[in-house]
Structure 1
Amino acid sequence: MKKNVVTFLFAVGALIFSTQLWAQDKPVSFGFKVGTNLSNYRLGGDMNGFKSKMNFGGSVGGFIKYDLSTTFALQSGIDVYYKTSTLESKTDQSSYKFKSFGVEMPVYGIVQGELGGGKAFIGAGPYIGYGISAKSDGVNLFGKNGEIGKPAMNRFDYGVGGIIGYDFDKNWQINASYQFGLADLHKAKGGSMKSHGASIGIAYKF
């Protein structure tokens, strides 16, 4: 698992570095964004006795966009997120509220084109994430658990995602994104827990 994460981080870093080289003589734009999200977890194995329900959260971040041509661009950035979800037992009435806080770095390949008075775009690419805090009913899931002697969840996440949006003018943008986590965040053997979520937001570019 650690080897896969290191390889993934290296690939994303190389992609960001290469886009910076490409962007030396290309139009570059910067922006800030804020949005709301819905998130939960895809459960498997020993976790099949539970279901994960989506709850609302939020995010704020910034991005850099490199226009390689009039129709294609590369976009990288960083988002600080707050996510919530509810884990409910399928056999009784018990439920657990999950609250997580962390950062994510997506890289998108974007296809874009003029539409009406603005520009529409759609893109896809990988992302990596790092959890700063994760709690369930006040219990720190990144801290050592007294029963198993180790954290209940992994901090590192990675996966693939997509984005779609519209630039109304030179500055304002509306966008929606989707993320499909590939990393197993559940530490215990026999169970799996992978992130899943969608968001919608606005951005201001300059």
Structure 2
Amino acid sequence: MKTLVLSLLTVAGLGFAASAQTNKPVTFGVKAGIAFPSMTVSSGSASVNFDSKTSFYVGGTVDFAVSDIISIQPGLTFINKGTKLNDNSISFEEEEFGTDEEATLNFKYLELPVNVVANFKLGSGKLFVGAGPYFAYALSANGKIGSVKEDIKFGENESEFKRSDFGLNFLAGYQLNNGFNIHAGYGLGLSSILDQDVSEDITFKNKVFSVGVGFSF
């Protein structure tokens, strides 16, 4: 985990150094939007895609220009991930609930992405596309069926989930010359958020599609 975070910070630092050498401005930005997270559960060669739920994200970015086209863009985002469960039969506190009410898993993450972004002038603004790794840390989580909710306690012996998550994210959008932009993104979790002490054969991985707006200044 520490190696991954240090790698992300190193990439961001290289972007800052390149920006300084090319005399390009450092651009700060804010962003917010709607997220549609879901999870994929796998065991061996079999996998199940759970339904997406609707949530939100908000965050900020710092854009270090490497050239007129390429920039390195680290950021920090608060995002609610999770999923709707297809099978509403879940155990809370050693009791199994079977119900037609909505069932969800909800994880609040603080996420650190570092993207390499390509920018292309188009009309009165620019088109941008990018990709890069991310590391996320879960601040809190819970499982919920209807009005019944149970908090997930990380770091406990009985905990089934771990706080850390990492993967790849992809983004694309269009930014006007005044700094306003619209964008879409996709985050693909590469690590299982299920503790391996619980099961080495089953993996839970996050997926998130998002759309939003932002402003750079």
TM category (shorter chain) comes to 0.7 to 0.9
The CA deviation at 1:84 is 4.3
Distance change >3 Å, CA 50–CA 140, structure 1 → 2:
farther
User: Structure 1: any 5+ residue segments left out of the alignment?
Assistant: none
Q: What letter matches 1:54 in structure 2?
A: S
| Contact 1:161–1:180 (Cα < 8 Å) also in 2 | yes
**3-state DSSP of counterpart to 1:89:** coil
Structure richer in helix, relative to its length: 1
Aligned to 2:54: 56
Aligned length: 198
My pick for the range that moved more, 157-166 or 167-176, is 167-176
Aligned to 1:81: 79
Aligned to 1:7: 3
Alignment of 1:91-102 (within 5 A): 96-102=103-109
The CA deviation at 1:74 is 0.9
The CA deviation at 1:23 is 2.2
Distance change >3 Å, CA 31–CA 85, structure 1 → 2:
same
What CA deviation, in whole Å up to 9, does each residue of 1:9-62 have, x standing for no partner? 22112111222222223211101111100011110129x696511011001110
What CA deviation, in whole Å up to 9, does each residue of 1:144-169 have, x standing for no partner? 67xxx331111000001111010122
Aligned to 2:93: none
| Contact 1:49–1:91 (Cα < 8 Å) also in 2 | no
TM-score (norm 2): 0.83
Q: What letter matches 1:14 in structure 2?
A: T
User: Structure 2: any 5+ residue segments left out of the alignment?
Assistant: 91-97
| Contact 2:15–2:66 (Cα < 8 Å) also in 1 | no
CA RMSD of aligned residues (A): 2.2
**3-state DSSP of counterpart to 1:15:** helix
2:146 paired with 1:136 = no
The CA deviation at 1:90 is 8.9
1:38, 1:109 → 2: CA distance? Answer: 23
